[in-house]
């Protein structure tokens, strides 16, 4: 998030590139969790993202697997809507 070379990041839902600051607002709780934790690869942002080979200013998910794992962190933290909620247009009742 601090790199000035990166200006956009792939959104896991719409799969389009969005502005880095917008990405941070939407996925703040997930990004805060990925601060690196020793030998746990899944705690590093590099585990999920790679620099897009065609657009060096964009971070893209490494694969569908990493994209889903990233999104699952948000679901566990209850910081993102489930895909069902997104499709139905209403959040679940708590």
CB 75 within 8 Å of CB 83: no
Which pLDDT tens digit goes with each residue over 41-88? 888 889 999 999 999 999 999 999 999 999 999 999 988 877 656 556
pTM for the complete prediction?
A: 0.82
The 10s digit of each residue's pLDDT in 1-57 is 788 999 999 999 888 999 999 999 999 999 988 888 778 888 888 999 999 999 999
């Amino acid at each position: 998030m601090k790199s000035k070379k990166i200006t956009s990041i792939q959104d896991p839902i719409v799969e389009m590139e969005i502005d880095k600051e917008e990405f941070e607002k939407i996925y703040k709780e997930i990004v805060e969790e990925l601060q690196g934790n020793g030998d746990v690869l899944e705690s590093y942002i590099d585990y999920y993202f790679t620099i897009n080979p065609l657009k060096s200013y964009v971070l893209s998910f490494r694969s569908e697997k990493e994209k889903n794992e990233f999104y699952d962190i948000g679901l566990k933290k209850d910081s993102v809507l489930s895909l069902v909620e997104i499709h139905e247009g209403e959040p679940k009742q708590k």
